[in-house]
Amino acid sequence: MASQFNPVKIFAGTATKELAQKIAGFYGSDLGEVTLSRFSDGEIQPGFNESVRGCDVYLIQSTSQPNDNLFELLMMIDAAKRASANTVNVVIPYFGYARQDRKDRPRVTIGAKLVANLLTAAGASRVMTMDLHAAQIQGFFDIPVDHLDASVIFVPYIKSLNLTDLTIASPDMGGSYRARTFAKFFNAEVVICDKRRKRANEIEAMSIIGDVNDLDIVLIDDICDTAGTLSKAASLIMEKGARSVRAVCTHAVLSGKAYETIENSALTELIVTDTIAPRIQSEKIKVLSTAELFANAIKSVNQHSSISALFKV
């Protein structure tokens, strides 16, 4: 039966309650009630406090700190299917394990593919997410994937800053395509920070490809984890004579000493979204909400209308 004839119910996992509340508000509905029971050994049992029979259910849960939040989401999917939901649509603002999208050395897992398999096996009908670390992860799924683009949120904010000599920068070679795509909105030049890693989250060396002298630089990335790359890139850019340097990152993982690193960095500000709820308030961190975009995307799915139309800046 077409989804427009089925009621929509939106529920939140524990990791994304505040964002889910905002999404439900923009959608025009109340957030459904979920109970999460815990056994003394840490075993969890989520359950819905209202009927979802015949409904198009939307479960909103970012999978940051994925070992807990991902499994909670999987069990919520299973609970919804067993409660006879018509469809179970999984909204994952931040898709954990997305950095493990290939075998970059022998005898390692492709974690993103495993997560895709788990979500599908649990009973998800559709996945909605934002700014995957690697866009090809969409191909890991055999169910529809709606991949939302946060540039529609960031571009108006950057324009409001009225930076006269704006240049876009990528913090590494792998993000050059993302930076070039972003630069098109401003007809701006692109510079690249070439980094070499010893291992994950540890940079060995970095150099700048391009001119940053007397320019306002905006670094573009999808994830800010320890903030080490952005901090080092910002310092190097300022050493090369830049007028100012900011960073735009969709997903503020901000683990370990990331907040302290940002505070002590050369960054004027770090602009992020609320796909992951910030743990600490900081004057250097500007948080932009994704709630209205996700709500409009949910409406588009249920009205069978174009989602790509939402990304016109």
Q: Can you tell me the distance from the alpha carbon of 80 to that of 87, in angstroms, rounded to the nearest whole number? A: 9
Closest CA to 92 of 124, 123, 117: 124
Strands 166-170 and 145-148: unpaired
Q: Can you tell me the distance from the alpha carbon of 245 to that of 236, in angstroms, rounded to the nearest whole number? A: 10
- For the question of residue 257 being annotated catalytic, the response is no
Q: Can you tell me the distance from the alpha carbon of 171 to that of 152, in angstroms, rounded to the nearest whole number? A: 21
Q: Can you tell me the distance from the alpha carbon of 249 to that of 272, in angstroms, rounded to the nearest whole number? A: 5
Report DSSP state, residue 5.
G
Catalytic residue among 9, 22, 195, 232: 195
Closest CA to 90 of 2, 36, 31, 12: 12
**The length of the chain, given as a count of residues:** 313
Phi and psi at residue 251, to the nearest 5°? -110, 115
Strands 216-224 and 202-209: unpaired
Q: Are 174 and 194 in contact (CB under 8 A)?
A: no
> How many helices (H) and strands (E) in the chain?
8, 14
Q: Are 277 and 260 in contact (CB under 8 A)?
A: no
Catalytic residues: 195
